Amino acid sequence: MDPIAFQIGALSIRWYGVMAALGFITAMFLLEYNRKFANASKDQCSTLLFLAMISGVLGARIFYVVQFFHFYRDNLWGIIRIDQGGLVFYGGFLLALVTVTVYSRMKKLDIIRILDIFVPALTAAHGLGRIGCFLNGCCFGRATKLWWGIKAPAGSALELAAGSAPLHPVQLLEAGENFLLCILFCYLLRKVKRGVVISSYLAIYGFLRFFNELLRGDNVLYAGLTPAQWIGTMLCISGCGLIIYFQRKPNEPAA
């Protein structure tokens, strides 16, 4: 659990950035692999991925800074230090969703199918990003006595924030969930109707994130729930409603 992957002279390369780069490469591969299901060209998918990445990082950082602005009141320069962690997935997801939708409309692409093919890419990149969170020591879990508890390295920033007790490895749990979802949705993309993949993702991930938040140790509560739990609840309900809607539409299954 060392945030530094390696050093080149005075330059420190952090695991957070390494895993983000691997996530981008993996997402690019999966979009290329699945783009035929949305009748999108290679150039269109490359542009979509680039726009989603930029807007995703920006939205995730904005959401984090707004949620934890008290950390930055006396250190405004730290707002741009995303290499040190501090991204909220939902903020990135929502802004990237808007960006992908606008671009798809401009290029007259099928927005729903574009969102469908983005799901496997998103889950794979998200899973790798959570491994980066684990190595970086952010997004940590609550203290636990279970066998899977992991202790923060002595003297690390994580130990200062969370203490020396073993913690739930919630980042690795969510990484594993995302990798399984990636496999599931790569399969469903070939079997189910248009819109069912993105709808199922919203419902399943919203539910899983609500549960995962019960193990987190770094979030504040609002009316008894964390911000991610509130958003996860809304996504889960919306996703379930959209699954019913798309299943009832008289269109052919993806082939």
pTM, two decimal places: 0.88
Other beta carbons within 10 angstroms of residue 208's beta carbon come to 18
H-type helices in 38-152, by residue range?
A: 42-67, 89-106, 111-136
**Region 13-39: what's the mean pLDDT?**
92
pLDDT bin (cut points 50, 70, 90) of residue 221 is: confident
User: In 3-state terms, what secondary structure has residue 183?
Assistant: helix
167-207 pLDDT per residue, tens = 999 999 999 999 999 999 999 999 999 999 999 999 999 99
Which of residues 5 and 245 earns the better pLDDT score? 245
High-pLDDT (> 90) share of the chain, %: 63
Other beta carbons within 10 angstroms of residue 163's beta carbon come to 13
Tokens of 59: 């939205």
Residue 82: what pLDDT? 65
Indicate the pairing of strand 4-8 with strand 11-14: antiparallel
Residue 254: what pLDDT? 44
**Region 47-70: what's the mean pLDDT?**
86
User: In 3-state terms, what secondary structure has residue 195?
Assistant: coil
Residue 232: what pLDDT? 94
Instruction: Find residue 143's DSSP bridge partners.
Output: 167
Going by C-alpha positions, the residue among 129, 68, 133 that lies closest to residue 96 is 129
**Region 27-38: what's the mean pLDDT?**
95
